[in-house]
Homo-oligomer: A and B are copies of this chain.
Amino acid sequence: MLNFDFKNPTKIIFGKGQMAVLPKEIPADAKILLLYGGGSIKKNGIYEQVKEALSDFEVVEFGGIPANPEYQVLLKALEIIKSEKITFLLAVGGGSVIDGTKFLSSAALYEGEDPWEILKKPIRTFVGMPFGCVLTLPATGSEMNSGAVITRADSKEKLGMGGPGLFPQFSILDPEVIQSIPVRQLENGIVDAFNHVLEQYITFPAGASLQDRFAESILQTLIEVGPKVIENPSDYAAASNFMWSCTMALNGLIQKGVPTDWAVHAIGHELTALFGIDHARTLAIIGPNHYQYNFEAKKEKLAQYAERVWGISNGSVEEKAQAGIDKTKSFYTQLNVSYKLSDYTADYNGVATTIANRLDARGWVKLGENKNITPKDVEKIVEMSY
């Protein structure tokens, strides 16, 4: 096991009807900026519930934060924070709204001239404006971690930021919200959380038995409840386990003491940038090919995954490892998520080279848990995904 630090001070408030406690979690004298996305919360009743819970507070609203939260949009919210003397931020949404709120939490107290520096330099945030979340879309884990990814259209950049000041003060997770989520987003959420775990698990053995088993626990639970959630989003047991699994997949716990990969995310982001493919689906496209391409380096963990998560007890290490990859693909298919790039675009010819060149031009640091995956390797991995 590698040395690690772990601290996660976010308060999770989980379950049916938990919106009722929202007013108790916010300082009584707070002036709140309520942040949300494209307006789905106005259709599913969440907006009304939040407004009612906040009836004793002074509340300003800012809607319209897009998927892949856009810097220029967030700057408008930042102006409101300053002109209205906001003291507390409340994100009501999924990962994009929460990530955007984290940027605002940092930028609101940033003393430099240009808040883009927080992302560009980057600057770690040790103290941000306090904020809370009402999670309406389980997937990213942003509700219980201190990281965010912000997109800037004018410079075609998508950059990460974070720091110990960016944990939500609280996050309210009511699994009943899942009933109102479009099925495509549920499919994406399951695949996203599944891949968050794989990035922290399909590496090489590092003597971290407990972390491995926790990772396997999340994968097994997603396999168990994912199809049930798709089938019947009103199945509360399935919905609650799905929601809690998404949070636990990326709240820092399972990455502590182990090597982590994250190459699948890095390559997947390029597919989103070039084709606008949903983030989770880019992970389904790249993941299995990344494991196939790096089979030798990852085969011990792939075999362990096949054994413990998929119950494959027969065969050599190599046979089990291969079965692990194959089972992963079947799971994506079961969730109606294609792992073939050609199912998303007809325009894929030459894209492997394009991506390799984009990464190369960016002076990209080598990726993967062994820091040895070059743009040339990425080219081959993307080619395998056609």
Known: A213-B217, A241-B210. A5 touches B12 (CB 8 A): yes
- For A8, give the chain B residue with the smallest CB separation: B8
Which B residues touch A218, using CB under 8 A?
210, 213
Cβ of A225 within 8 Å of any chain B Cβ, yes or no, is yes
Q: Are A256 and B207 in contact (CB under 8 A)?
A: no
Cβ of A2 within 8 Å of any chain B Cβ, yes or no, is yes
Q: Are B1 and A240 in contact (CB under 8 A)?
A: yes
Cβ of A16 within 8 Å of any chain B Cβ, yes or no, is yes
Interface residue from B225, B240, B241, B257 paired with A244 (Cβ < 8 Å): B257
How far apart are A109's CB and chain B's nearest CB, in angstroms?
A: 21
Known: A6-B11, A9-B7, A12-B6. A224 touches B209 (CB 8 A): yes
Cβ of A262 within 8 Å of any chain B Cβ, yes or no, is no
Cβ of A334 within 8 Å of any chain B Cβ, yes or no, is no
- For A144, give the chain B residue with the smallest CB separation: B6
Q: Are B4 and A14 in contact (CB under 8 A)?
A: yes
Per-residue B-contact encoding for A121-140, CB less than 8 Å = 1, 0 else: 00000000000000000000
Q: Are A210 and B14 in contact (CB under 8 A)?
A: no
- The distance in angstroms between the C-alpha atoms of A208 and B217, with both chains bound, is 12
Cβ of A33 within 8 Å of any chain B Cβ, yes or no, is no
Which B residues touch A9, using CB under 8 A?
7-9
Interface residue from B15, B16, B216, B221 paired with A209 (Cβ < 8 Å): B221
Count, chain A residues at interface, CB 8 A: 42
- For A16, give the chain B residue with the smallest CB separation: B3
Q: Are B7 and A10 in contact (CB under 8 A)?
A: yes
Cβ of A18 within 8 Å of any chain B Cβ, yes or no, is yes
Which A residues from 24 to 73 make CB contacts under 8 A with B?
none
Interface residue from B6, B8, B14, B214 paired with A14 (Cβ < 8 Å): B6
- The distance in angstroms between the C-alpha atoms of A2 and B7, with both chains bound, is 25
Interface residue from B11, B13, B209, B237 paired with A241 (Cβ < 8 Å): B209
Q: Are B237 and A1 in contact (CB under 8 A)?
A: yes
- The distance in angstroms between the C-alpha atoms of A12 and B135, with both chains bound, is 27
Q: Are B240 and A207 in contact (CB under 8 A)?
A: yes
- The distance in angstroms between the C-alpha atoms of A1 and B17, with both chains bound, is 13
Which B residues touch A1, using CB under 8 A?
14-15, 175, 236-237, 240-241, 244
How far apart are A221's CB and chain B's nearest CB, in angstroms?
A: 5
How far apart are A66's CB and chain B's nearest CB, in angstroms?
A: 31
Interface residue from B11, B224, B244 paired with A5 (Cβ < 8 Å): B11
Cβ of A185 within 8 Å of any chain B Cβ, yes or no, is no
Cβ of A322 within 8 Å of any chain B Cβ, yes or no, is no
Cβ of A304 within 8 Å of any chain B Cβ, yes or no, is no
Which B residues touch A15, using CB under 8 A?
1-4, 257
Cβ of A341 within 8 Å of any chain B Cβ, yes or no, is no
- The distance in angstroms between the C-alpha atoms of A13 and B257, with both chains bound, is 11
**Chain A interface residues (CB < 8 Å from chain B):** 1-18, 175, 207-211, 213-214, 216-218, 220-221, 224-225, 236-237, 240-241, 244-245, 248, 256-257
Pairs across A and B, CB under 8 Å, 24 listed? A1-B14, A1-B175, A1-B241, A1-B244, A3-B14, A3-B15, A3-B17, A3-B18, A4-B14, A4-B15, A6-B14, A9-B9, A15-B257, A208-B241, A209-B241, A210-B217, A210-B241, A210-B248, A211-B244, A213-B217, A214-B214, A214-B217, A240-B257, A244-B257
Besides A1-B14, A207-B237, A210-B241, 7 other A-B contacts (C-beta < 8 A): A1-B237, A4-B12, A4-B15, A5-B13, A6-B14, A213-B216, A214-B214
